[in-house]
Amino acid sequence: MGICASISSPLIHDDSYGQESAVYYTGISSNESSQKIGSVFSLAGSKGLNQDCALLFQGYGVEEGAICAVFDGHGKNGHAVSKIVRNKLPSLLLNHRKMGSDQSKNFQRWKEAAITAFKALDREIQFLETLDCSCSGTTATVVIRQAEDLTVANLGDSRAVLGTRSEDGIVAVQLTTDLKPGVPCEAERITKCKGRVFALKEEPHIQRVWLPYDDSPGLAMSRAFGDFVLKNNGIICIPEVSHHRITPHDEFLVVATDGVWDVLSNEEVVSMVAAADNEEGAAKAVVDAAVAMWKHKFPNSKRDDCTVICLFLPSKSD
């Protein structure tokens, strides 16, 4: 069964998002009205627990701001790590962001806040006495909208894609890089730290990270929260941070875990969102399509968890 939850509160608390996998959070007081600006949906795969988590927070930062983020857990305790990060990261980002009146430095402030907050949260996870994260962790793909600016912080292989209108119709613009061990600069960092990168014979298309003298754990991404057994061998928690200035042609943003991107192209996803019957059902429509494609492409494989956030980008003139 898929999950599409919604709660509202005027304040941000680390545990406000609870244990649901996908949460739409409206950060406004109960006496205010607000039109929803997107949708979020998560569906467990056929491997067991849903290790994905997602948050769409409307009213984050400035009044018209938003944050959308997906987290794809892995390992024995990946489901717990993804929820911890989802529940704590939004407030940490605000706490670490330096204030200032110079608007030209806004992106730099958010970038510094993201790097500091990601590192601080990773340290916090490392010293949790009740949770072993030596071989468990999570990705994080976070997009912060403040006015007409998007700050994108990416850790791992989830993905953010922009749907923008052109003369030929809707076009997909990928805003993140899938940070996997096969990316040359990622592999270089890992091997310099004595980690090993290679694929197993039975899955030659998947590059993995291994310890220097042991064929474990075989991590299929190059950056993550957790996975402390590999933190001395090139796996880092520092996100890749970028900026995008919203144009009048930009219509929506899709942030999703790799269970979606493994079976659907960027172009297919943005076309589905553009054609969705309504904005609130757009995320579920993409997940439903991904599930169908898993059955078609990999009928004998266990389906991965699939999680999607759709954030629509009305301009100030709309």
Q: Kindly report, residue by residue over 200-225, the tens digit of the pLDDT.
A: 999 999 999 999 999 999 999 999 99
Residue 30 reports pLDDT greater than 50: no
Provide the token pair at 232: 């001395």
Long-range own/partner contacts, residues 92-96 (CB < 8 A, 24 or more apart): 92/117, 92/120, 92/121, 93/67, 93/117, 93/142, 93/144, 94/12, 94/61, 96/120
Cα 187 from Cα 173, distance rounded (Å) = 25
On whether residue 200 sits in a domain, the answer given is no
Do residues 316 and 148 lie in contact, with contact meaning Cβ atoms separated by under 8 Å? yes
pLDDT score at 314: 74
Looking at residues 172-183, what average pLDDT do you find? 97
Quick one: pLDDT at residue 9? Answer: 37
DSSP class per residue in 142-162: EEEEETTEEEEEEESS-EEEE
Which letter does DSSP use for residue 208 in this model?
Answer: E
Determine contact, residues 283/3, Cβ cutoff 8 Å: no
Confidence of residue 106 (pLDDT cuts 50, 70, 90): confident
Q: Of 105-114, 182-191, 296-305, where does the model show the most confidence? A: 182-191
Residue recorded with tokens 């892995």: 74
Structure tokens at 97: 């962001």
Indicate whether 293 pLDDT > 90: yes
Number of domains within the chain:
1
| Mean pLDDT to the nearest integer, 115-124 | 97
- pLDDT, greater one: 196 or 168: 196
Cα 191 to Cα 235: distance, rounded to the nearest angstrom: 10
214 in any annotated domain: no
> Quick check: is 221 in a domain?
no
Strand, helix or coil for residue 314: coil
For residue range 234-259, list pLDDT tens digits in order: 999 999 999 999 999 999 999 999 99
Residue 220 is assigned to a structural domain of this protein: no
> 110 — phi, psi (to 5°)?
-70, -40
Query: What pLDDT does residue 112 have?
Result: 96
Rounded to whole angstroms, what are the CA distances from 149 to 62, 212, 301, 318? 12, 42, 40, 16
Q: How many Å apart are CA 193 and CA 82, to the nearest integer? A: 26
Least confident segment among 61-70, 146-155, 229-238, 240-249: 61-70
Q: What pLDDT band is residue 21 in, cutting at 50, 70 and 90?
A: confident
Identify the pLDDT of residue 34.
62
Whether residue 55 lies inside any domain: the answer is yes
pLDDT band, very low/low/confident/very high, at 318 (cuts 50, 70, 90): very low
User: Distance between CA atoms of 29 and 250, rounded to whole angstroms?
Assistant: 29
pLDDT band at 28 (very low <50, low <70, confident <90, very high): low
> Is the pLDDT score of 12 beyond 60?
no
Which structural domain range is residue 158 located in? 5-178+229-312
Would residue 192 count as lying in a domain? no
SS3 136: coil
> Tell me: the pLDDT tens digits for 301-313?
999 999 999 999 9
Residue 3: per-residue pLDDT: 45
Average pLDDT over the chain reads 89
CATH number, domain of 80, equals 3.60.40.10
Is residue 183 assigned to a domain? Answer: no
* 217 in a structural domain: no
Confidence of residue 11 (pLDDT cuts 50, 70, 90): very low
Report percent pLDDT > 70 for the chain.
Answer: 89
